[in-house]
Chain A
């Protein structure tokens, strides 16, 4: 069935370090791919999305490219800030429902 596999956390980085959070998916058809972010005690907020192969989603310095050949949608940021500390969820949408990964907790230390 359809599913998303995310890099295990937690991840701890120093401010201004480079971030990569890996995400791979399994899906029939051509899903849309998303990254959501969740801050403590809050709901999920859309970070970025890509709707077809080779699309790049970007927002707030974060980027992810929809790679059909490797079934991946890795999240990257060149220079993280303390305010980026949160849990990041990769998700895919097949037309009926969203499937989420288990989340990757990121802590950025000054």
Chain B
């Protein structure tokens, strides 16, 4: 495994349903980030973990969103009671904990709420 992998790549769900996305970072990376990207916009920060600790959360991350990284390896992002405004691409990224170190992105998980 040479990159960040995300699953599923695409998800269509009905409004009100819960969805969960999984991210597997590059194996030696201790930092893991979640971003959201809508069409025509740059990625917006949601949250990040250093090992298993969630160190920062954006105001964008409402109480319907929860992220975990239980063993400091893979992470999940769950959205409860989805709304149409949640439709976006959810990007996971990982890096080493070092200023100036590169952040590597996964291919993203596209969510469409109908």
Contacts and interface: CB of A to CB of B under 8 A. Distances in A.
Interface size range on B against A: 20 to 34
B42 interface: yes
A34 interface: yes
B40 A97 contact: no
Interface string A1-14: 00010100000000
A42 B107 contact: yes
A90 to B, nearest CB: 9
Interface string B22-34: 0000000000010
Contacts of A103: 40-42
Contacts of A43: 4, 91, 105-108
A89 B48 contact: no
Interface of B: 4, 33, 35, 40-45, 48, 55-56, 91, 93, 99-100, 102-108
Given A100-B44, A102-B42, 9 more contacts: A34-B103, A42-B107, A44-B91, A45-B105, A89-B42, A96-B56, A97-B33, A98-B33, A98-B103
Interface of A: 4, 6, 32, 34, 36, 42-46, 49, 51-52, 89, 91, 93, 95-103
